[in-house]
Chain A
Amino acid sequence: MAKESEGYQDRVFINCPFDESYMPLLQAIVYTVYRCTFLPISALSEDDGSDNRLDKIYRLIANCRFSIHDISRTELNIYGLPRFNMPFELGLFFGAKKFGGAAHRSKNAIVFESVKFEYQKYISDISGIDTKAHGNSDIEIVIQIRNWLKTATNRKTIPGTEMLLADYLDFKEKLPSIAERLSLDINAILFNDFCEIVEYAIEKRLEI
């Protein structure tokens, strides 16, 4: 039976697109997860050419109790084919929860799409899942993730929506200046660099 790893209860696996157009939403996800006292984990956190990609995803899912999936971008790519990575990783997460033993039975996920229940047109096997529609709004993502984590854990350290939005909007306003000082393109900040920025920003914001 799989054993729960250290920090398992705090880790949130992020399964979403990584292209530039999605970057503002990914940044909102990462900020919210941190600000709600959890740790965001992504396949982008590690870059080891000798590591099999699928093994890495297995490992990341195994080490995270929570998971954020965005299947809103399953549209056709430049080759005219749909992007299956996000639905595939969502399936792996469901599989881990179902077959991973007691340690993984408490796994909890939020599934985003752009328009609610659109998934039923292309992945009907998961009918009955209560997806959340973000309408490509970062604010909606912040609120939905906060509410989901609060409901799932009832942690007292999760801020109220009003405070969270004030903190997030303040960060969003400052991010261009931070990126400029670091000579970074705001839409192409590497995941680890962005996490580091967010950690310091929250410390500054809350004076901790």
Chain B
Amino acid sequence: MSKFILKKAKGRVTSIPKAKIKAAVTAVYAEKGRINTNLSPLTVKEEPIVYHITND
């Protein structure tokens, strides 16, 4: 598989310090966890069927 190379702009001026932006993004991604990007086929977990047998 080809390696992903993120293209970045050089010398971009931001209104917020870049370190602060990086910290905010890092915190949110750490907080909510990383979702596996290797998508696998969905598996459906079936609920067990419960039969109620009565003597009526």
- Check: A125 CB closer than 8 A to any chain B CB: no
Residue in A closest to B26 when the chains form the complex, CB atoms: A204
Among the listed B4, B9, B13, B25, which residue makes an inter-chain contact with A208, where contact means beta carbons less than 8 Å apart?
B4
Contact (Cβ within 8 A) B12 A192: yes
Residue in A closest to B36 when the chains form the complex, CB atoms: A166
B: interface residue count bin:
20 to 34
A: interface residue count bin:
35 or more
Given the interface contacts A170-B35, A204-B25, A204-B29, does A156 sit within 8 Å of B15 by beta carbon?
no
Tell me the dominant secondary structure on chain B's binding face: loop
Which residues of chain B are within 8 angstroms of A177 by Cβ–Cβ distance? Answer: 28, 31-32
Which residues of chain A are within 8 angstroms of B34 by Cβ–Cβ distance? Answer: 204-205, 207
Residue in A closest to B20 when the chains form the complex, CB atoms: A182
- Check: B49 CB closer than 8 A to any chain A CB: no
Q: How many A-B residue pairs have CB under 8 A?
A: 91
Among the listed A156, A157, A174, A207, which residue makes an inter-chain contact with B28, where contact means beta carbons less than 8 Å apart?
A174
C-alpha spacing A192/B3, complex, angstroms: 25
C-alpha spacing A113/B4, complex, angstroms: 31
Contact (Cβ within 8 A) A195 B25: no
Contact (Cβ within 8 A) A196 B6: no
Contact (Cβ within 8 A) A10 B25: no
Which residues of chain B are within 8 angstroms of A195 by Cβ–Cβ distance? Answer: 9, 12
Contact (Cβ within 8 A) A206 B15: no
How would residues 4 to 39 of chain B score, 1 for a CB under 8 Å from any chain A CB and 0 otherwise?
111111001111101011101111110110110101
- Check: B2 CB closer than 8 A to any chain A CB: yes
Contact (Cβ within 8 A) A192 B26: no
Q: Give the Cβ gap from A29 to chain B, nearest Cβ, in Å.
A: 15
Which residues of chain A are within 8 angstroms of B1 by Cβ–Cβ distance? Answer: 156
Q: Name 14 A/B residue pairs within 8 A (Cβ), A-sorted.
A: A37-B6, A47-B13, A156-B2, A157-B3, A178-B28, A182-B24, A195-B12, A196-B21, A197-B21, A197-B25, A200-B26, A201-B29, A204-B34, A207-B34
